[in-house]
Amino acid sequence: MPLHKLLALAVFALTYFAIATGKLPPLRLDRAGAALAGAVAMGVIGAVDRRQALDAIDFSTLALLLGMMIVAANLRLSGAFTLAARSVLARARSSFSLLALTVAGAGMLAAFFINDVVCLALAPILIEAARMLGARPEPFLLALATASNIGSTATITGNLQNMIVAGYAHLTYSAFAVPLAPVALIGLMADYAIIAYIYRDQLEPIRRTLSTRTLRLDIAMLWAGL
């Protein structure tokens, strides 16, 4: 195999190793830094020329992603995500209903906003709510992570992969959402059922002893402190 192909293969493997592990010892590179460094290295060794590199960039997807990040960041700073979580938690009457509302809320928000932002915005609130319930936060955080990923499959703006697919396929928002939203809904229902079953031993005792009035009072105290 020619030397330049071996170098390209080595750069490709090293870059994906860094992306998979999230770091590249001893360099202080995260996934984004590793991807950028790998792209630059491919250009330096001549694996791709300037024209090929430019053609490989999907500027429409990058523009959409930037716009969604700006919108999501401002919504988070304005407290919109906190308000949405408040509405969800105020309706929780037990640990099982909190789990169901977490799955539904995270899935719905992630369908319209980037799923990573939803996880970052809601995780601290769920941890505090679990503490008030006297429950371990793992079931709720797992529900948040999985539901946000499942819900994000429903629309173009849910995640970066959807943006790329819709861009190359020239799909409109509705043309993408109509076939995939039902799939996401089924996935969310399965997600709740699986997590509720796996963590039933942790959730059941709370369901038996939980006072709705106490929960609502604690939630009111939570929002007063946010």
Say if residue 32's pLDDT is above 50.
Answer: yes
Helix (H, G, I), strand (E, B) or coil at 172: coil
Residue 222 and residue 129 in contact, taking contact as beta carbons nearer than 8 Å: yes
Amino acid code (one letter) for 205: P
Which H or E run contains 137? none
Instruction: Indicate if 182 and 93 belong to the same structural domain.
Output: yes
Say if residue 84's pLDDT is above 80.
Answer: no
Instruction: Indicate if 47 and 144 belong to the same structural domain.
Output: no
**Beta-carbon contacts of residue 65 (< 8 Å; ≥ 6 apart):** 114, 160, 163
Give 140 or 90, the one with higher predicted confidence.
140
Instruction: Indicate if 44 and 82 belong to the same structural domain.
Output: no
Does the pTM surpass 0.85? The reply is no
Measured distance CA(44)–CA(98) in Å, rounded: 52
CA dihedral for 116, 132, 86, 99, sign (positive or negative): positive
Instruction: Indicate if 118 and 220 belong to the same structural domain.
Output: yes
Say if residue 92's pLDDT is above 80.
Answer: no
Instruction: Indicate if 166 and 102 belong to the same structural domain.
Output: yes
For the chain, the domain total comes to: 2
Q: What is the mean pLDDT of residues 18-43?
A: 80
Provide the domain limits for residue 125: 59-225
Q: Pick from 18, 34, 55: which residue ends a domain? A: 55
Instruction: Indicate if 20 and 123 belong to the same structural domain.
Output: no
pLDDT of residue 150: 95
Instruction: Indicate if 69 and 10 belong to the same structural domain.
Output: no
pLDDT of residue 162: 87
Q: Of all residues in the chain, what percent carry a pLDDT higher than 70? A: 83
Instruction: Indicate if 117 and 14 belong to the same structural domain.
Output: no
Nearest to 81 by CA among 108, 60, 103: 108
Helix (H, G, I), strand (E, B) or coil at 24: strand
Instruction: Indicate if 91 and 34 belong to the same structural domain.
Output: no
Instruction: Indicate if 158 and 186 belong to the same structural domain.
Output: yes
Instruction: Indicate if 40 and 128 belong to the same structural domain.
Output: no
Instruction: Indicate if 63 and 50 belong to the same structural domain.
Output: no
